[in-house]
Structure 1
Amino acid sequence: MTALGFLYPGHSAEDDYPRIEQLLGSDVRLDLVHTDIGEDAHRVDALREMGSAERLGAGMERLWLAGAETVVWACTSGGFVHGWEGAQEQVRTLARLAGMPASSTSFAFVRAAREIGVRRVAVGATYPDDIAALFADFLRAGGLEVAGMRSSGIVTAAEVGTWGEEDVLTLARAADAGDAEAVLLPDTALHTAACLPLLEKALSKPVLTANQVSVWEGLRLAGRRVNAPVLGTLFTREPIVQV
């Protein structure tokens, strides 16, 4: 059994994780610990505080007790809002606090894009324009090209968590740029686990979503690959044979 740990702020789309665990259909367990969200606001100061070492460290004991082998900070905006170097320092701090391999959803997007062989992407962000622009800057720092950006101007994760499948599809379609090789939906407060095949079929290209890439990143840290096409192109690679 491979146990993956996730620090998830507040309560919005956390039910994506048990759904993904079920869809993986293998010996993988996803252990999720809710961190204190503080102020629920897609605003730079609030997001930096949300991902502070104190807030992240407070959830570690529960992950240790659960037997987690890796940990991912499952809050995209709470990572990239620090910039590339600041987000790297955040992950290094998390690894020291956890005593295990660590990463964040922000870096997961860059690595997942590389994994499926795409460089030019379009972004459908629920965030206000200024926060969405910071995500685009982060992707560029990671070597990706941003072909298009659509932001929805939503301030709170709570509101994002109320979105249904049709809302997600509308955002993805609006964000898509004809020359983009993939579409990225960066908010972990957005429910996407159940609609990945629909999204990819509608757009005729890979779609990377926050909770999807977070789980993939946890598996990567653990040296695992799981073939689960229902979770999109990212999960169609052959699994590594465990010896």
Structure 2
Amino acid sequence: MSTPATTTPTTAGIIYPDHAAEDEYPWAADLLGVRLPVVHVYGTDLHAVPELLDLGRPDRLAEGAARLAEHRPQSVLWACTSGSFVYGPEGARDQIDQLASVAGVPASSTSAAFVDALAHLGLTRVAVAASYPDDVARLFVDYLAAAGVEVAAMGSAGIDTAAEVGHLTPAQVVELAIARDHPDAETLLVPDTAMRTLAVVPELEARLGKPVLTANQVTIWQALRLAGTTPTSPDLGTLFARRLPPRRQDHARQ
């Protein structure tokens, strides 16, 4: 009797800064039937421009890619919004190119994942519910504008560190997000991978009546898309309710 063939789950590697909400990745991996191994890179968790530029340095990301290699990922994602958009549009693209080169597989970042998720859903007018101080949040607005995304409203909570964001309760996350929506926005963006959002996305969408895109959600979506799989789940919001067309070259790099 022949032994039945086993199917290896899709593996997408995650490079995560410090520690905050990384437990969202194994939770989503179990939900979707995939592998999302997480490795950590360390710097300060301060939401300030010099520190964020240091956090996203090429050598840090190369170190993360090297530690992911044992998992044989089919894609690699830099799971940090502020540590990617802080470089500006061109710098963020260079960051992805360099990561893809050292990882040897398609790569992207959370900032690019937001833009690609918006394009997938056909959305161009957004509201931003940022945890960051105002000056950092405005850099995200500039990054979106350079990609042709109109920001109808932006609200910043002024939280200085990722650790503080990681301690927000689900009720506080919902309150922060809803308070910064705008009626003219087609979708609400919540751009901080330090914030636990996956479990509250369905509630946010139900209460706002529109798609909600959050940092860890779009990171996982982009990672799996680049790895060549398109799982769906009603528990992860509108973004995971639609199957994807074949992957094209956009804000990701090989």
TM-score (norm 1): 0.95
Partners of 1:19 and 1:193 within 8 A in 2? no
Partners of 1:80 and 1:106 within 8 A in 2? yes
Flag the structure with larger Rg: 2
Partner of 2:180: 175
- Counterpart AA for 1:8: Y
Superimposed CA distance per residue, residues 3-53 of structure 1 (whole angstroms, 9 cap, x where no aligned partner): 0001000000000101111222x3x111111111x1221111100100001
Partner of 2:73: 68
Secondary structure at 2:22's aligned position in 1? coil
Secondary structure at 2:36's aligned position in 1? strand
| Residues 177 and 239 of structure 1: CA distance in aligned 2, closer, same or farther (over 3 Å) | closer
User: How do residues 160-239 of structure 1 correspond to structure 2 at under 5 angstroms?
Assistant: 160-238=165-243
Partner of 2:18: 10
User: How do residues 36-55 of structure 1 correspond to structure 2 at under 5 angstroms?
Assistant: 36=42, 38-55=43-60
Partners of 1:23 and 1:231 within 8 A in 2? no
* Residue 171 of structure 1: how far off its partner (Å): 1.3
The ranges of structure 1 where at least 4 consecutive aligned residues each deviate by more than 4 angstroms after the TM superposition are: none
* Residue 238 of structure 1: how far off its partner (Å): 3.1
Partner of 2:6: none
Between the aligned partners of 1:98 and 1:9, the Cα distance in structure 2 is 17
Secondary structure at 1:148's aligned position in 2? strand
TM-score (norm 2): 0.91
The number of residues matched between the two structures is 238
User: Which structure 1 segments of 5+ residues have no match?
Assistant: none
Compute the RMSD of aligned alpha carbons: 1.2
User: How do residues 90-169 of structure 1 correspond to structure 2 at under 5 angstroms?
Assistant: 90-169=95-174
Partners of 2:13 and 2:223 within 8 A in 1? yes
Superimposed CA distance per residue, residues 167-203 of structure 1 (whole angstroms, 9 cap, x where no aligned partner): 1111111111001000000000000111111111111
- Counterpart AA for 1:10: D
User: Which structure 2 segments of 5+ residues have no match?
Assistant: 1-8, 247-254
Secondary structure at 2:228's aligned position in 1? coil
Q: Say if 2:85 is the partner of 1:80.
A: yes
Secondary structure at 1:220's aligned position in 2? helix
